[in-house]
Amino acid sequence: MYQLVRKFLFKMDPEEIHERTIHALKLAEDSPQGKSLLKMLFGFRDERLEMKLWGMTFPNPVGLAAGFDKNAEVYHALAALGFGFVEVGTITPIAQHGNPRPRLFRLQEHEAIINRMGFNNYGAYAASQNLVDYAYADIPIGINIGKNKATPNEEAASDYLKCMETLYRYGHYFVVNISSPNTPNLRDLQETESLRSLFREIRAKASEMELRGVKAKPILLKVAPDMTDEQMRDVVQAAVDEGAAGIIATNTTLSRDEVLGHPHADEAGGLSGKPLRERSTAWVKEIYQEVGDKVPIIGVGGIFTGEDAYRKIRAGASLVQVYTGMAYQGPGIAKMINKKLVKLLVQDGFTHIEQAVGVDAKA
């Protein structure tokens, strides 16, 4: 059914479609009948898919990545769509419009998207007002934080600390986003010493909040795929050394190797979708081999099917996230992936998803 609807939707501007989708989900969220209908259509539970990480329970390993619910407006409705967790943001201290439109491009032949949104959001205070009832979402809610475009890198830590000050009371985990390609020079913060310094300040702010009585939250790092093996190892090890509770691999890529010749290939921004699938899975495996015995990994990039998700899990991901896949596969993607994961577990002789994590990386 969605494939028929998609033909009509894809004739419209992609950002307009996103805005209309958020509006529709708001309407569903405001109606008990709407949420019940979403759960009936898209819900799927199986104890074999439950994951327990960081002291919390994920009903299934399939989450929605940051970038969809930028302002934490519809996470209750997204939970009803069957996701095991939802990550909101990226949220910056001060509201910003992001980059000029158009800034979102479909590459349909490649089942990919290029975006240069630029952290458009309403700011940390507005998000905090939307997150006051995060605990009633029935699933873990992550908060992805970044710096404002106008803030120079030398002062970047202050932006992350402001976000922590405003938002640490809310959400179940936090993600430090220094890997988006759409904020100038942001990825420079992945340089090892800059990263160490940033994480120390963030951890100190977290400790300060905890002394005020706020519950401790795991803080994860999201990494870019456009690094050498040595750079990735340095970044990941530095993050873990400084207290990162997990790694999200990966953000979008600047590479265009898989989409050369497409009319949009030269558009600035990060590429996501199927062209990123193999690259991100390879990074998950390498990161698991580097630090998999210390922290969990969330795999993201090019997940469209249960098989895609399972490959990332076998490579070392304890959880996975989708985004572009939902644009192409529709709102039933979490249910579809989870049902397939159960079949794949049985096929491989596993009784729980946890048994599949990293089996290919250990071989």
Q: Which structure tokens are listed for 266?
A: 């030269």
Distance between CA atoms of residues 294 and 290, nearest Å: 9
Q: Is 66 helix (H, G, I), strand (E, B) or coil?
A: coil
**DSSP per residue, 75-135:** HHHHHHTT-SEEEEEEE-SS-B--SPSP-EEEEGGGTEEEE---S-B--HHHHHHHTTTGG
∠ Cα 357 58 335 (to 5°):
85
Q: Which helix (H) or strand (E) holds 219?
A: strand 219-223
Q: Which of 180, 272, 280, 318 is catalytic?
A: 180
If DSSP states are collapsed to H, E and C, what string results for 233-271?
HHHHHHHHHCCCCEEEECCCECCCHHHCCCCCCCCCCEE
Distance between CA atoms of residues 28 and 323, nearest Å: 20
Does the annotation count 180 as an active-site position?
yes
Q: Which structure tokens are listed for 174?
A: 């936090």
Distance between CA atoms of residues 327 and 17, nearest Å: 10
The residues assigned a catalytic role are: 180
